Structure 1
Amino acid sequence: MNIIVPIKQVPDIRNVRMDEKTGTVIREGVEAIVNPLDLYAIETAIRLAGSCGAKTIALSMGPAKAADALREAVSMGIDEAVLLSDKCFAGSDTWATSYVLSEAVKRIGSYTIIICGERAVDGDTGQVGPGIAAWLDIPVLTYLSKVSINEGSCTVRRLIEDGYESLSCSMPCVLTVVKEIAEPGLPTLRGKKRAKNLDIPTWTAEYLGIKPESVGLKGSPTRVVKIDRPKVSRQCRIEKPRSETKTAAAVKALAEKLRETA
């Protein structure tokens, strides 16, 4: 029984820059971290695996340095890790990314649950988890705050706008989880040692049987056609009343301005 956790290495969003020609994030020279929302998926997988004796496998698609994110997941308690890396993957949108991840899942073969974070903080779409489910043609449950596994099915509590709903579905399935589900554990010394010495295999497009034109910018139907930087201009008048008469005049001016701007 395998529990698969797709994770993403993202740039520190405080220093993100965009390539205005391609509409993609410039990742070179920016500190990279594990997508913070994926940490909750990692913790959920570890806890579920401990309760049912499953093996956990982390997947990450990205350049060679994305192996650092996988090693962090292993140091937290993930059993195995696989890096999906190829030059032709660069620039993939959520459609192409979920396709590559789904092909990797097929290559693994035996799996019961795929657990994803709610979304990635750089793209902020929340589409990759459901995309994987669509490519694999299996059920997907999103925004989960609680998960339990029964024989052949899982029962979940799903966060909705006005509360929660309880659902169950057959396995295999894809789950996306929210922060409320668990507090991520810290890497352990034993975990760090194992992660440092772990041989992480790299799977390329050729190994996965993926045609280069079906991924990357060529295989991505999403297009960022224009990037604008908002310009904030504040045109205001400052009133500093120093007497009752001037205060009344300032209040009247404020009321007129509010009416004028609706």
Structure 2
Amino acid sequence: MTGIRIAVAQPVISADARVNGETVRRLMRKAAAGRARVVQFPEGLLSGYAKEQIADWSHVDWDVVREELELIMALAAELKVWVVLGSAHPLTPPHRPHNSLYVISDAGEIVDRYDKRFCSHTEINHFYTPGFDPVVFDVDGYRFGCVICVEINFPQLFSQYERLGVECLLLSAYPVDTVFEVKARAYAAINCYWVSMSLPAQTRDLMPSGLITPNGTYATQVTGKSELAIATLDRDDPDLTIPLQHARPWRTTALKGDIYRTRAVTDPRSQNRTTA
């Protein structure tokens, strides 16, 4: 087998971190049984997501969240899988938490954490502290990056990850409209990388979770009431030759601009814009 297998989860999110932790571990085992090396979960899963499961951070038992996170880390080491897990990350009071994705390695260690940079109006004014940096990490020679939900409306983040060499962008979200899927597929095709979209079961009526190819089409989707879909990222897939081997390198060259600047001409018919 070439490439790397990734599992995309679509679980129900509850307000109980113990229930959420049990759900994560159950799906991790299912993903490992399917030979997945990376398992991705939705925004806010472990702690519960603000505005949906959480109305006030004082209602969250952070000790329980931490205990469940530690159990998930231990299982990641046992199963030898990487886990990208959505959760609020508490800060020192009175600062509000980050809206985060924990990047847990197959050694059971948190190797990085992505903090949502562009929060919604309600999030930034009532629930979360923003982050400021992109996060990339490598698994088995493939490079991954992270974004969260409403950040889909900021194309500069997606192009930034293309420049950072990301091959699969992990988009964890709690979407509220169907156009979200259109944007995700467009970014995959424009940037010529995979977009893995993990959403909660509560939003399955809007769109499925799934893995979108660099062609902008789905490699796999979570169907029905299933909670997990697994697919392989393979940069040598002949069906992806055009976006990966031709379009992406060409667009990188084109953006540098030299191929255009060196072909500029001094011609009155070029400079006169009012002549037929």
Tell whether the structures are fold-level matches, with TM greater than 0.5. Answer: no
Flag the structure with more relative contact order, 1 or 2, with Cα contacts below 8 A and sequence separation at least 6. 1
The two structures have a TM-score, normalised by structure 2, of: 0.27
Name which one, 1 or 2, has greater alpha-carbon Rg. Answer: 1
